[in-house]
Structure 1
Amino acid sequence: MSIRLGYQMPYFGYAASPRELFPQVIAQAQEAEAAGFDAVLLMDHFYQVYGQPEDWMLEAYTALAGLATVTERIQLATLMTCNTYRNPALLAKIVTTLDVISGGRAALGIGAGWFEQEHIGYGFEYGSFTERFQRLDEALQIISPMLRGQRPTFQGKWYRAENAINEPQVRADLPILLGGGGEKRTFGLAARYADHLNILCHTTDLPHKLTTLRQRCEEAGRDPQTLETSVRAVVVVDEDGDRARRLAREFVQRDLVVVISPDSVFAGAPDDVAEQVQRRILDHGVDGIIVNMVANGHEPGILELAGKALRPLVHR
């Protein structure tokens, strides 16, 4: 498993009607596959994060199963699954079923969860920051062995499982992705359980974050080279670089709450964006990039531009 270039599809408000929506989602996934992206990743949310909460949002695993039937090579995952929304054994079963449907192309992206409004609206227990990470730790003690052909028995504070069976499986190494920037909890869990860590931070903090991650791996008795890393970035690319920068400015002004900082936005013509990604992310030693193209990724041809510009940087 390797995700050096991922496409996160976070927004679904561009279709004229619900009936026209999923064909446009399919078109993006197929264009990303043709453009050389390694993975398509959906957000695991029930309310829209970009724009208004009532703007359209698809349930992630149902949508990924649909995409599995119309793609051939590209990996399928969430960035990230909210652990508090599903029983961990059930989640292991869901992602394994996606792996079967896709012929071995699923990955489990998972995090502790953060969107309190969704928890309230859907009746999920939110809990404290510490409690959500306790839940995630316990969940991974059930999920990880289930994805590797084992039948775990576990009794914790939050979850339990007894000889949990997970069949059929097409492989015993379905990859786990974690996401976040917490140097103690998130990095510690990644060192213990993950195949891939999507680091959430300002790009200027990457050298420190990577150093700390190596320390967490060494503390866990793990070779840091076995943990792949990426950064999520908002990318706005267009042959007309001025248009791309204008769209990026409009996006930041509208949705600053979900942007770490303007530092995480990369906008311009393809060559300009590639230079920025290389200098501000990859030169620090990060393995790959997951691009969120919320401003114009749904426009035909944009993903092809992005793939041509970015894939050579991460697949040499």
Structure 2
Amino acid sequence: MTIRLGYQMPSFSHARSPRELFPSVIEQARAAEAAGFDAAFVMDHFYQLPGLGAPTEPMLEAYTTLGALATATERIQLSTLVTGNTYRNPALLAKTVTTLDVVSGGRAVLGIGAGWFELEHEGYGFEFGTFTERFERLTEALEIIRPMLHGEHPSADGKWYRTREALNEPRIRDDLPIMLGGGGEKKTFGLAARFADHLNIICDASELPRKVEALHARCAEVDRDPATLETSFLAFVYLDTDNDRARKLYDANVSDAQRAQADRHFVGGPAEVAEQIQRRVLDHGIDGVIINMVANGHEPGILELAGNTLRPLVAGSA
């Protein structure tokens, strides 16, 4: 597994109608593949997130979407950023992502996190619980999922989940990768050190030196070489062919509430964005970057521009 450059599709609101929505998703996934991105991601949400839009804006179910994208692409890896553990039984999730792996010819990655969007839990009737309970559940889930992805038949009798010699066939490999997503320096990073192949760090860019230090500490606690745990950063990119056009794009599409997270935003023409990603992210020891381009990622030529801009920065670390 290598994800040095990923593309996340967090919004479907640009489509003029539901019938035009999924063709646009296919076009973006194919454009990302052609542009040299390693992976394409969708969010595992049922409502649009605060800061990106109203809850009523379009949102596709993640694994149905990824299964369809598997038949429309050839090389790019497919994943969620990230699956909410609270939404699915863990054995069923292992089966689901393994089926995606079979359908895609070995291109699935299990992205997973503890879950956090309370409004969805209330709306759909999922138990939300406390912060501590959600991480208890994620820990138990990973103790079931990881063995199932490796061809084992785990039995579990935990506080939250139970299995008995759970089967997971067919599989086409025994090393389907797990990616954790989040910024929690104790719980999330600790679980990543124990279970994950990749950690997508979600935080302000200025926090990355501390995050890397914390991750190394969690790896040391379980006697793991941190070099064996790949890392990436989630970046909100506003890129156009020149700096002035990118600034206008940013000003037209970013609300005051979103500007509160400006330390996660990267704005400019190709030279400016490349410099920002290198200095603010990669120079801190992060292996790669996953970008979303809410404002214009669906427009023709933009993902090619993004690939040409960012691929050279991460090619040497692949």
What SS does structure 1 have at the residue aligned with 2:295? Answer: coil
| Displacement of 1:131 | 0.5
What residue in structure 2 maps to residue 145 of structure 1?
147
| Displacement of 1:26 | 0.3
Matched AA of 1:276? Q
What residue in structure 2 maps to residue 135 of structure 1?
137
Matched AA of 1:7? Y
CA–CA distance in structure 1, aligned partners of residues 254 and 36 of structure 2: 27
CA–CA distance in structure 1, aligned partners of residues 260 and 107 of structure 2: 30
Alignment of 1:101-120 (within 5 A): 101-120=103-122
| Displacement of 1:254 | 5.6
- The answer on whether the counterparts of 1:252 and 1:262 sit within 8 Å (CA) in structure 2 is no
- Which of the numbers 65, 68, 73 marks the counterpart of 1:66? 68
Matched AA of 1:220? V
- Which of the numbers 229, 237, 240 marks the counterpart of 1:238? 240
What residue in structure 1 maps to residue 188 of structure 2?
186
CA–CA distance in structure 2, aligned partners of residues 175 and 250 of structure 1: 38
What residue in structure 2 maps to residue 83 of structure 1?
85
What residue in structure 1 maps to residue 261 of structure 2?
261
CA–CA distance in structure 1, aligned partners of residues 304 and 251 of structure 2: 22
| Displacement of 1:271 | 1.4
Matched AA of 2:175? D
What SS does structure 2 have at the residue aligned with 1:218? Answer: helix
Deviations 1:177-211 (A, max 9, x none): 00111111001000000000011121111111111
| Displacement of 1:52 | 0.8
- The answer on whether the counterparts of 1:44 and 1:80 sit within 8 Å (CA) in structure 2 is yes
Matched AA of 2:261? S
What SS does structure 1 have at the residue aligned with 2:254? Answer: helix
* Higher mean displacement: 187-196 or 263-272: 263-272
| Displacement of 1:221 | 1.4
| Displacement of 1:270 | 1.1
CA–CA distance in structure 1, aligned partners of residues 223 and 123 of structure 2: 41
* Higher mean displacement: 135-144 or 240-249: 240-249
CA–CA distance in structure 2, aligned partners of residues 250 and 183 of structure 1: 34
CA–CA distance in structure 2, aligned partners of residues 132 and 248 of structure 1: 35
What residue in structure 2 maps to residue 20 of structure 1?
20
What residue in structure 2 maps to residue 4 of structure 1?
4
| Displacement of 1:249 | 3.1
Deviations 1:262-312 (A, max 9, x none): 011001111110111001000111000000111110001000000000011
| Displacement of 1:241 | 2.1
What residue in structure 2 maps to residue 208 of structure 1?
210
Say what the alpha-carbon RMSD is for the aligned residues.
Answer: 1.1
CA–CA distance in structure 2, aligned partners of residues 241 and 55 of structure 1: 30
What residue in structure 2 maps to residue 35 of structure 1?
35
Matched AA of 1:78? T
| Displacement of 1:255 | 5.2
- Give the fraction of aligned pairs with identical amino acids, expressed as a percent: 68
What SS does structure 2 have at the residue aligned with 1:315? Answer: helix
- Residue 154, structure 1, aligned to residue 195, structure 2: no
What SS does structure 2 have at the residue aligned with 1:69? Answer: helix
- Runs of at least 5 residues in structure 1 that lack an aligned partner in the other structure: none
CA–CA distance in structure 1, aligned partners of residues 262 and 15 of structure 2: 27
CA separation of 1:163 and 1:200: change in aligned 2, threshold 3 A = same
Q: Could you state the TM-score of these two structures normalised by the residue count of structure 2?
A: 0.97
CA–CA distance in structure 1, aligned partners of residues 143 and 166 of structure 2: 12
- The answer on whether the counterparts of 2:142 and 2:195 sit within 8 Å (CA) in structure 1 is yes
What residue in structure 2 maps to residue 221 of structure 1?
223
* Higher mean displacement: 246-255 or 126-135: 246-255
CA–CA distance in structure 2, aligned partners of residues 162 and 240 of structure 1: 58
- The answer on whether the counterparts of 1:5 and 1:37 sit within 8 Å (CA) in structure 2 is yes
What residue in structure 1 maps to residue 47 of structure 2?
47
- Runs of at least 5 residues in structure 2 that lack an aligned partner in the other structure: none
| Displacement of 1:17 | 1.1
| Displacement of 1:248 | 2.1
| Displacement of 1:260 | 6.9
CA separation of 1:255 and 1:101: change in aligned 2, threshold 3 A = farther
What SS does structure 2 have at the residue aligned with 1:98? Answer: helix
CA–CA distance in structure 1, aligned partners of residues 81 and 239 of structure 2: 21
Q: Could you state the TM-score of these two structures normalised by the residue count of structure 1?
A: 0.97
Alignment of 1:90-105 (within 5 A): 90-105=92-107
What residue in structure 1 maps to residue 123 of structure 2?
121
Q: Across the two proteins, how many residue pairs are aligned to each other?
A: 314
| Displacement of 1:252 | 3.2
What residue in structure 2 maps to residue 273 of structure 1?
273
CA–CA distance in structure 2, aligned partners of residues 289 and 179 of structure 1: 13
- The answer on whether the counterparts of 1:51 and 1:254 sit within 8 Å (CA) in structure 2 is no
CA–CA distance in structure 2, aligned partners of residues 205 and 86 of structure 1: 31
